[in-house]
């Protein structure tokens, strides 16, 4: 080879020089120069130590009501075209309650709201403010776009959606998620446990901060369009006192037996409430619908652990059914000391919800249930423009 003949490497370098765009080099240098330059700090008037302004809320529609107040969807309007949707709860004054007692109750709710707002856990509703509108107290909260578990399991909504969905979607919905039950829809076990684990994640953050929810039930479990689960309605929550019993609040139907019998609030009481919710998701039945008195309700709850084998649905894999049975049994045990000690134990401990999901993976039965739940909500409850 002649020494004057260019090598292939020399040729490639020459081609590279010929094809190189000088403007690209300029842009590259400008880009790196911008990275090195520090932006001048913004200059604004020094704020005073205290600032206040009026917030404008436009009521869009009623979301629900309970024993203490009414919740509305509202539009919080700012300036320059900004607005955002929030949920606001207006607390009713019980005329039979002395004013001093009412104010004390509002202070308790404000205190609990403040503690919970500082946790900032994704499975807890975000509480943003607690203000007075003349004599009425108002809690401003995150608006959770979705359905609560009671609504999602409603057979009327389930059947009404049949006419709106395609045959393929309807078959998929019934195959992987849900089917009609005796009192409401029943969920596939894997889906029910997925919802349970979302609830336990939120409840675990409460328990770690020594807060007991005290009113866990389907209406207080929201499922967003993203599939995220949220615990809501913290009005009945309390701080676990070592040296004294907390006042009993909540819904007797889903209360642990000791709350009806001994009036003692514990972390384990929350676990029993979620256990009843889990069994109802699995069976499509209201467990205590025939109970007319507290005595009848207590008697049924005391019998339930021995009757569980009749409730838990059959599974193709025997070990999965046994895991599910053990999980439910440990959650609703009559003796609180035989239950999971708290929400974290119920999720991650021996025989907990996570162990059931590990079995699903082992049998190649796991799926993206959160995404499927979001798809279900969009299917049966299309988003509306307010």
The pTM score is 0.86
The pLDDT value given to residue 295? 95
pLDDT given for residue 243 in this prediction: 38
Percent of the chain whose predicted confidence (pLDDT) is above 90? 65
- pLDDT in the model for residue 15: 47
Residue 82 pLDDT greater than 60, yes or no = yes
Residue 385 banded pLDDT, cuts 50, 70, 90: low
Determine the average pLDDT of the residues in 202-211. 96
pLDDT tens digits, 25-51 = 666 667 666 666 666 777 877 888 888
Fold of the domain spanning 146-380: Transferase(Phosphotransferase); domain 1 (1.10.510)
Query: Taking a C-beta distance cutoff of 8 angstroms, is the pair 373, 219 a contact?
Result: no
Reading the block at residue 288, the tokens are: 């205590």
106, 109, 110, 127 from 103: Cα distances, Å:
5, 10, 10, 20
**Buried residues in 230-263 as b, exposed as e (16+ CB within 10 A):** bbbbbbbbbeeeeeeebebbbbeebbbbbbbeee
Q: What is the largest CA-CA distance in the chain?
A: 109
Mean pLDDT of all residues belonging to the chain: 88
Q: How far is 90 from 270, CA to CA, in rounded Å?
A: 26
What share of residues in the chain are helix, strand, coil (percent, to 5)? 45, 15, 40
Topology of domain 56-142 in CATH is: Phosphorylase Kinase; domain 1 (3.30.200)
Q: Which pLDDT band, with edges at 50, 70 and 90, does 124 fall under?
A: very high
Q: Give the burial string for 320-350 (b: 16+ CB within 10 Å, else e).
A: bbebbebbbbbbbbbebeebbebbbbbbeee
Q: Domain segments of the chain: what residues?
A: 56-142, 146-380
As a three-state string, the secondary structure of 297-323 is: HHHHHHHHHHHHHHHCCCCCCHHHHHH
β-pair partners for 61: 73
pLDDT digits (tens, 9 = 90+) for 224-249: 999 999 999 999 999 876 434 567 78
CA distance between the termini of the chain: 80
């Amino acid at each position: 080879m002649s020494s004057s003949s260019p090598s292939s490497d020399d040729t490639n370098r020459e081609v590279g020089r010929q094809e190189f765009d000088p403007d690209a080099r300029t842009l590259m240098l400008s880009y790196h120069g911008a990275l090195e330059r520090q932006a001048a700090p913004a200059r604004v008037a020094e704020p005073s130590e205290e600032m206040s302004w009026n917030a404008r809320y436009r009521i869009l529609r009623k979301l629900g009501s309970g024993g203490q107040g009414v919740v509305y969807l509202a539009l919080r309007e700012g300036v320059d075209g900004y607005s955002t949707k929030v949920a606001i709860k207006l607390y009713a004054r019980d005329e039979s309650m002395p004013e001093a007692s009412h104010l004390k109750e509002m202070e308790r709710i404000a205190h609990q709201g403040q503690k919970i707002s500082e946790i900032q856990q994704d499975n807890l509703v975000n509480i943003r403010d607690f203000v007075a509108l003349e004599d009425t107290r108002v809690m401003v909260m995150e608006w959770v776009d979705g359905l609560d578990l009671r609504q999602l399991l409603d057979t009327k909504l389930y059947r009404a959606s049949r006419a709106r969905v395609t045959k393929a979607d309807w078959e998929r919905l019934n195959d992987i998620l849900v089917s009609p039950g005796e009192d409401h829809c029943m969920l596939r076990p894997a889906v029910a446990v997925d919802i349970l684990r979302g609830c336990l994640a939120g409840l675990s953050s409460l328990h770690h901060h020594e807060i007991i929810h005290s009113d866990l039930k389907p209406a207080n479990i929201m499922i967003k369009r993203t599939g995220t689960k949220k615990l809501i309605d913290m009005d009945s929550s309390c701080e676990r006192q070592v040296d004294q019993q907390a006042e009993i609040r909540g819904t007797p139907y889903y209360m642990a037996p000791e709350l009806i019998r001994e009036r003692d609030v514990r972390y384990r009481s929350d676990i029993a409430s979620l256990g009843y919710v889990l069994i109802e998701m699995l069976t499509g039945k209201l467990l205590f619908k025939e109970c007319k008195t507290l005595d009848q309700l207590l008697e049924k709850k005391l019998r339930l652990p021995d009757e569980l084998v009749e409730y838990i649905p059959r599974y193709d894999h025997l070990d999965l059914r046994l895991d599910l049975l053990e999980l439910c049994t440990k959650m609703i045990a009559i003796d609180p000391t035989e239950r999971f000690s708290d929400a974290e134990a119920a999720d991650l401990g021996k025989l907990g919800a996570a162990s059931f999901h590990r079995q699903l993976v082992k049998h190649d039965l796991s799926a993206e249930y959160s995404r499927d739940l979001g798809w279900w909500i969009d299917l049966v409850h299309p988003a509306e423009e307010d």
